[in-house]
Amino acid sequence: MGELRLVELSASNIVAANSLTLKPGQEQYVAPVSHSIAEAYVNPITAWPRVVLDGDDVVGFIQGNFDPDSDHEEFKGCIWSINVAATAQGRGVGRFAVLSLAEEARSRGYDRITVMFEPGEDGPEAFFYRLGFSSIGETQYGETIAALSL
């Protein structure tokens, strides 16, 4: 793995981002990148879509939401979506993406970020807990809400 870098979602990388393939069983826990991309264009002021590059290859996608005026505390500074290519998982891509989003949140004056996920064997729960997130509640749909103090 070369040097990872985070860049804005753009016309030059959107197809590769939308083509990221997960490991079998992970699809049920993560919305397709195309849904996140659509969300970014619906909420362009608060959405923060980025791709992770390893050299010139798109190996991950993360979308944050920064909305200090949200009525829901868990949506003020949060991770909407994260996808890491199956071939790049376990190599620090997800960690890099989350920590980059956390740094962006910190630079905007946030003292924490949140994420929501469905618990499950192939889900992202263990990944987020390894990064220091702690469970702070549940959504009305039974998803875990976790927070990372910055």
Q: What is the pLDDT of residues 92-149, one digit of tens each?
A: 999 999 999 999 999 999 999 999 999 888 789 999 999 999 999 999 899 999 999 9
**Residue 120: inside a domain:** no
In a domain, 140, yes or no: no
3-state class (DSSP) for residue 29: helix
User: 95 vs 25, which has greater pLDDT?
Assistant: 95
In a domain, 98, yes or no: yes
Looking at the domain assignment, is residue 133 inside a domain? no
Which residues constitute the domain of residue 67? 4-110
Task: Report how many domains make up the chain.
Answer: 1
Taking 80 as the threshold, does the pLDDT of residue 43 lie above it? no
pLDDT at 49: 95
Residue 62 maps to which CATH number?
3.40.630.30
Alpha helix ranges (H) inside 1-150? 14-18, 33-42, 93-107, 125-130
Total-model pTM: 0.89
- State pLDDT tens for residues 65-87: 999 999 999 999 999 999 999 99
pLDDT at 26: 82
